[in-house]
Chain A
Amino acid sequence: MHEVSIAESLLDVAVDNCRQSGHTRINSIQVLIGKASGVMPEALLFAFDSMKEDTIARDATLDIVEVPLRGHCNVCGKDFEVEDRYVLACPNCGGLQYTVSSGRELTIAEMEVE
Chain B
Amino acid sequence: MKLKVTRNILTANEKIAEGNQKIFADAGVFVLNLMSSPGAGKTTLLEETIKRIKDRVKVGVIEGDIAGEDDAIRIDALNVPVVQINTGGACHLDANMISSVLDDLPITALDLLVIENVGNLVCPAEFKLGEQMKVAVLSITEGHDKPLKYPVMFQESGALVISKIDLKPFLDVDVEKIRRDAVSLNPSIRIFEVSCKTGEGLDAWVAWLLTTIS
Interface residues in chain A, defined as those with a beta carbon under 8 Å from any beta carbon in chain B: 1-2, 4-6, 9-10, 12-14, 17-18, 21, 23, 31, 38, 86, 88, 96-97, 106-114
Q: Which of B2-10, B26-34, B63-71, B204-212 contacts A (4 or more CB under 8 A)?
A: B2-10
The answer to whether B6 touches A38, judged by C-beta atoms less than 8 angstroms apart, is: no
Q: A38-B122, A96-B181, A113-B3 are in contact. Are A2 and B92 (CB under 8 A)?
A: yes
A38 to B153, CA, bound (A): 13
CB contact between A17 and one of B5, B91, B94 (< 8 Å): that residue:
B5
Residues of chain A within 8 A of B4, CB atoms compared: 109-110
**Interface contact A88-B3, CB-CB below 8 Å:** no
Residues of B within 8 A of A (CB): 1-13, 90-92, 94, 120, 122-123, 126, 148, 151, 181, 184-185, 187
The reply to whether A5 and B94 contact each other, CB–CB distance below 8 Å, is: yes
Given known contacts A17-B5, A21-B3, A2 and B91 CB-to-CB distance under 8 angstroms: yes
Q: How far is the CA of A12 from the CA of B187 in the complex (A)?
A: 38
Question: Is there contact, CB below 8 Å, between A9 and B10?
Answer: yes
A105 to chain B: closest residue by CB: B8
Name the distance in Å between A24's Cβ and chain B's nearest Cβ: 12
Q: Are A13 and B90 in contact (CB under 8 A)?
A: no
With a cutoff of 8 Å between Cβ atoms, the chain A residues found around residue B148 in the complex are: 88
